[in-house]
A and B are shown apart, each in its own frame.
Chain A
Amino acid sequence: MALTKTQFGYRRHPDQDRAGADIAEHAVVVVGAGPIGLSLAIDLAQRGQSVVLLDDADRIGEGSRAICFSKRSLEFWDRLGIGQRMVDKGVVWSVGKIFHGESQLYQFNLLPEEGHKRPAFINLQQFYAEAYLVDRVEELPAIDLRWRNKVTGLEPRNDGVVLTIQTPDSAYRLAAQYVVACDGARSSLRQMVGAEFAGQVFEDQFLIADVKMTAAFPTERWFWFDPPFHAGRSALLHKQPDDIWRIDLQLNRFSDPAVEKLPENVRPRIARMLGHDKFEFEWISLYKFQCRRMGKFIHGRVIFAGDAAHQVSPFGARGANSGLEDAENLAWKLDRVLRGTSPEPLLDSYHIERSAAADENIRESTRSTDFMAPNSHQEARLRKAVLSLAKETEFGKRMVNGGRLSTPSIYETPLSTADGDSWDGGPRPGASMPDAPVAGQGGEPIYLTDAFIAAGTGFTLLEFSNGAAAERPDGLGTIRIGGQGGLSDAAGLAARRYDAEPGTAYLLRPDGYVAARFRHPTRAALDAALARAAGHI
């Protein structure tokens, strides 16, 4: 922690000196400087927007909290210029093992193939991720980050929102065309717009302990059903940087949180698990699973993202990662609407795409939760049968649910152009772009995700060369594979992962999702797909 800045000062802003009706007007105000708000602000700023970012605290939150950041999140952070720093500090992993009692049931590899710039996951304490994001924010003059600025009032207008903000000095007001609420699961902006946050709270309690110790366990995710050290319940062990280990223990439904949280009660449990007590506590927290979402992510000119909009149980790394997917989904759309290059209804696709993703995440994490803590005698009996069959059968192993880990959703969206050609693989419209290793003109090895960043922040055409380049609309970025001046795909992995033949072209959205694909694109087809993806149809 020593080298990481986590405490920040309040500074009075000239906006606070404006009196009466003469209030400052801003294009975008983002509320909440957590990983989602910070990432969104950076993405918007890199697209040329000025962003006011408000946070009610003056420091980065304590405790590791979110620790698993997905490949997709790292690819997003690469576009924000901080992916490498996260990976350098993080613990890279892709293998998980599931145990039942004393014995290993099976192991899985989340990224079994080579040729991807980023690993399946890194583990990194949330405070590091936030600190690195704040460092990046400080490099971008277009972001005005105001600590100890707490939103206490919200007045909707037809063309914007007026916020009342409390500071250590006094309250002030400012107007914004759009407000994005990234203020977490207990979002106060959600209450201010009067929105419901409906869903399910699970009865079972879980204990998180981050302990510091040196240990030779491999950097894998280990999950136990009914381990010898914690009979009848489940447990999880995961490595973080700085010799910190995340331990999750399922408790019984009726445990008293205040008692369970006491270090003298946590210590013997963990000592039983590790077989020794040479560890120190970094952080202890107790929680119940909650799966909830807002009915609508957009309320007039207030847009909700991350935990403010949806909350899932943590087994599966779907919290922070899905919030980051919200941010990358929203940033380019909001930028285009503010510039007037897309009509306002483009934002509706944010709700359509990300609320469906939230439903998927809630469904998956509810299933994992139910598997870990069966709700009825019969459900427990079925689980017992699956765990028992998993020892000897492949189908049993595949039915054991120790947390299905987050993968990007495939969007069913009005922005996609349906396939007209025949495909035998590759990402379909609405899916995120797979990575692949390629080589630049000088033979230097790069990845497709690097080429995507180099192609600019707008829509990009990924084309597999076939003679002359297709005639294309203006302003479209290009990634050309093969041919004169193109990237070389010597191993053929790019072609394989995109089911590409000479002439194949993918139209990629600014967030790296496929909008359309063609065996041989025509100018008219590209124009139509681009118009659709930009919300003009």
Chain B
Amino acid sequence: MALSTRSNFAKPDDAFRAIVEAHHGLNDEQSADLDAALVLILANHIGDLDVLKEAIALAAQRMLSASQQQQQQQQ
């Protein structure tokens, strides 16, 4: 697996806060736009399609489990 999921920041809280604060004062649509730009910038920085695909797969698992939960609730 090429994607690193180890903790790479010396202070992970600093990174989390930086992202949260980047959204400060934005409405929902602006936040989504910011995230989209951020994703493209970071993807380009990584510059490795295999890593990007693994990252997409890992992130997408959440959508999968969320829709499964919804289905279970509907049943």
Residues of A within 8 A of B (CB): 364, 367, 370-371, 376-379, 382, 385-386, 388-389, 392-399, 401, 404
Contact = CB atoms under 8 A, between A and B. Distances in A.
20 contacts: A370-B17, A370-B20, A376-B23, A378-B23, A378-B28, A378-B31, A379-B23, A382-B20, A386-B16, A389-B58, A389-B62, A393-B58, A394-B5, A394-B7, A395-B7, A395-B9, A398-B12, A399-B7, A399-B16, A401-B13
B45 interface: no
Interface residues of B, number: 20
B5 A401 contact: no
Nearest to B19: A382
Contact of B20 (A379, A394, A396, A397): A379
Contacts of B61: 392
SS of B interface (majority): helix
Given A376-B23, A377-B28, A382 B16 contact: yes
Contacts of B62: 385, 388-389
Contact of B12 (A370, A377, A388, A399): A399
A386 B19 CA distance: 12
Contacts, number: 53
A389 B13 CA distance: 15
Nearest to A377: B28
A364 B17 CA distance: 11
B7 A398 contact: yes
B59 to A, nearest CB: 8
A397 to B, nearest CB: 7
Interface of B: 5-9, 12-13, 15-17, 19-20, 23-24, 26, 28, 31, 58, 61-62
B26 A399 contact: no
A392 B5 contact: yes
Contacts of B12: 395, 398-399
Contacts of B17: 367, 370
B66 to A, nearest CB: 9
A217 to B, nearest CB: 28
A401 B15 CA distance: 12
B49 to A, nearest CB: 20
Contacts of A398: 7, 9, 12
A398 B15 CA distance: 11
Given A364-B13, A370-B20, 12 more contacts: A371-B16, A378-B23, A378-B26, A379-B23, A382-B19, A382-B23, A389-B62, A393-B5, A394-B6, A399-B7, A399-B12, A404-B13
B55 to A, nearest CB: 11
Contact of A399 (B15, B28, B31, B58): B15
Nearest to A388: B62
A389 to B, nearest CB: 8
